[in-house]
A and B are shown apart, each in its own frame.
Chain A
């Protein structure tokens, strides 16, 4: 499909008649490529192993770097002795990253580093670096940090006031309520587990640095290398052709990147420094925990009246933990106070829809409890309490569509009465996400042999950005995707932002569209005299440039480009308003079975209804939704960062005890993308991962009749809740 030749309709007509300043750029009314399923351009390189990730880069004379990290969650560095390491076989460089007297604030805080000619020798030498620590009191849990007798570990307080929000009158709200639910809900800390760990290869040529870095932000990485190393940004070149997953955690060189660059300087040789799996868990971010004690009221007819919450969470050492609460539903009278709790654990970083899976879970479990109090169907109850329908708030439609498609009418009331240990249930949840475009530039070169190169300093983090860059240009020029060469993943290319917040497609595709249209205008100007036509009458479609409505009066693309002459058409332009939008909504349904004897939950089916504005590549957009759902199955059922309650060290910094779904754990997933081309491109990376865990937890509640108010849904928690229910109830 990547080679499909666009048909004879929907081409681009010249708009050069309008002066550039007032010209309004639009998407084609009848696109040929956009919205279709186009295969990933770098698929063949990735399936054959030819794709070179940062981890795979090899340079002449390359050495290997290794970081020494604090084993303690809180300590003072007394001394760092590099002498034994410096004398070890093959060692080319060694440095102290923390000075004596400095504090380490979490297990995994970097302290020193070494580079040697082989990886094995670098690891050996790292073990010879002697660091003396003075252990200090640490906080290894939220409960400990919040305790009245907790040691004061963080300057400014272990617990600090976060967001506050108050609307309406709680007193009036609760006065109107016929029922009140009061309970505590929580979600846990998970880590990003990027399969390609963080890291880079650094190579100096005099005072110029080249870094092959695994990042979601190739240009910002160059900027941060420059700042961190105090060298001009013009002396830094970052390259990210392929990268193995970031999920919000890879936006710069971090400590390991700067350490790598310094080791390379000292070693006078290129250094590869990719973190190992344990370091990746400890020091590259995580999703903060969230807890809320909530009181909520509802009238007898199912109208929400009041919401009163005290919430808290931890983003580890020195990072906040905010999340939206309540989520989506309309509580006219509400109050929320939040506290950020600091503990001695790796600092959080943005993780796929930061804050939303937490706020969604805390609200959506409560919603099912409230629905049961008023004996309403959970879908009907939710629809009754939604904000008004809008292009970015389509939940009512999606609830109705989803209920029908999923077979919601077969859902039994809370508690499966089927005999035997396997109980089945259904749950539902809704979510939203922003996403928006801006701040991206591009360059298009059209050569006289018909070659087209599209350049943009964005990066493909697995989402298919490289492919949509080519698609948009190909659509504009009326060429097959193979007729355009996309160049991305290099800090010397025209500026584009980091890939985060589901903003990449909405930033990059308008920039490519605008730049391509401007380049096409220049080509039309060259071709028009030969065709005896005016520029405004020309279109580019089906591999030809011809007069609108008369395809015989035209030239094949290659022949048209011969008129360009020796100086190629080169256009630089940037993102403009009108081609992208903001704000998405989605609804998900889940079906799960629970073995009430073992506590094991299996998710059997998920339906995800999602919009993302204009779908660019149907194949990769749907895949983002599939991936988001699976990520949240992990969040709901498996992964959990466990800290030892005595030492504060992570118990499972690996991939055998830090659990992730395998093939047999993946449910049937039905994705429905609501294409809204009139809204422009928005983005889909994050929203599909928000609702899944809440829908699963509600399905477990529907199956067992037992409310589990905290993630993850591990078997021991299910069994404990069932026991608690027998002893007096969770509801």
Chain B
């Protein structure tokens, strides 16, 4: 079964898509109105993740986070709230941060996806990662990947972010150990050193 992304997504909002793909017996049928329906079984999904093409066969309902964690063993980004409230799953898609737990994998085909796993090159840490280590901006580390990605995205967009912009830019992430003070310090440290556009 093949369906182009353009064809698939044409005119479909997330909600419409989700309800369409779960409709019983709707596999591979053309709905009378709206887009062509895929699923509920596995469909091919191709993703560009950290500069590499990943070809998966997954159900259309699988989120970007679960596709990468469970099917591609890219487990850097974490699943915490699983409904877009805590930011641990934050990834960068075409330059914008998204909650990957609330983004369907099938929706982001053809887009450039960046996760925490792809930020460092070999042993060299990304300046934001280095700053997190230097000022101890982490404890248990479970929120850390999301915060690192959010900080990278923030500084790429606002290399001279003000303290207020930094707080606002990192407000979409939750930490339970209480590393916020040091994360802000790390963001400042990384800002001072400069973060190149990814």
Chain A residues near B (Cβ < 8 Å): 39-40, 42-44, 46-53, 55-56, 58, 118-120, 193-197, 242-245, 247, 276-277, 461-464, 619-620, 623-624, 626-631, 654-656, 660-664, 666, 669
Chain B residue contacts of A663, Cβ below 8 A: 166-168, 170-171, 173, 180, 183-184
Q: Quick one: given A52-B75, A462-B139, A623-B139, are A120 and B61 in contact (CB under 8 Å)?
A: yes
Q: Identify which of B62, B83, B177 contacts A656 (C-beta below 8 A).
A: B83
CB distance from B21 to the nearest CB of A (A): 12
**B46 interface residue (CB < 8 Å to A):** no
Nearest CB in chain B to that of A45: its residue: B141
**B140 interface residue (CB < 8 Å to A):** yes
Q: Are A55 and B78 in contact (CB under 8 A)?
A: yes
Q: Are A44 and B180 in contact (CB under 8 A)?
A: no
Q: Could you mark each residue 175-192 of chain B with 1 if its beta carbon is under 8 Å from any beta carbon of chain A, else 0?
A: 111111111100000000
Cα(A558)–Cα(B183), bound, Å: 39
Chain B residue contacts of A619, Cβ below 8 A: 136
Q: Are B69 and A654 in contact (CB under 8 A)?
A: no
Q: Are B173 and A196 in contact (CB under 8 A)?
A: no
Among A47, A195, A630, A662, which residue has the most Cβ atoms of chain B within 10 A? A47
Q: Are A40 and B70 in contact (CB under 8 A)?
A: no
Q: Are B80 and A47 in contact (CB under 8 A)?
A: no
The 6 closest A-B CB pairs, nearest first, are: A49-B76, A462-B140, A244-B142, A627-B178, A630-B178, A46-B141
Number of interface residues of B (CB under 8 A): 59
Q: Are B80 and A195 in contact (CB under 8 A)?
A: yes
Chain A residue contacts of B183, Cβ below 8 A: 663
Q: Identify which of A51, A193, A277 contacts B176 (C-beta below 8 A).
A: A193
Nearest CB in chain A to that of B146: its residue: A195
Q: Quick one: given A245-B177, A663-B167, are A655 and B133 in contact (CB under 8 Å)?
A: no
Nearest CB in chain A to that of B83: its residue: A654
Q: Quick one: given A47-B144, A666-B180, are A277 and B81 in contact (CB under 8 Å)?
A: yes
CB distance from A240 to the nearest CB of B (A): 12
In the complex, how many residue pairs between chain A and chain B have their CB atoms under 8 Å apart?
168
Q: Are B80 and A277 in contact (CB under 8 A)?
A: yes
Q: Are B61 and A194 in contact (CB under 8 A)?
A: no
Cα(A277)–Cα(B85), bound, Å: 11
Chain A residue contacts of B129, Cβ below 8 A: 44, 47-48
Q: Are A627 and B76 in contact (CB under 8 A)?
A: no
Q: Identify which of B69, B80, B172, B176 contacts A56 (C-beta below 8 A).
A: B69
CB distance from B112 to the nearest CB of A (A): 18
Q: Quick one: given A195-B140, A655-B85, are A49 and B178 in contact (CB under 8 Å)?
A: no
Q: Identify which of A120, A660, A666 contacts B62 (C-beta below 8 A).
A: A120
Chain A residue contacts of B140, Cβ below 8 A: 195-196, 242-245, 461-462
Q: Quick one: given A49-B75, A53-B142, A245-B142, are A669 and B181 in contact (CB under 8 Å)?
A: yes
CB distance from B40 to the nearest CB of A (A): 10
Chain B residue contacts of A40, Cβ below 8 A: 133, 136, 138
Cα(A536)–Cα(B73), bound, Å: 54
Q: Identify which of B115, B168, B172, B176 contacts A245 (C-beta below 8 A).
A: B176
CB distance from B187 to the nearest CB of A (A): 9
Chain A residue contacts of B138, Cβ below 8 A: 40, 43, 46-47
Nearest CB in chain B to that of A47: its residue: B129
Chain B residue contacts of A49, Cβ below 8 A: 74-77, 115-117, 145
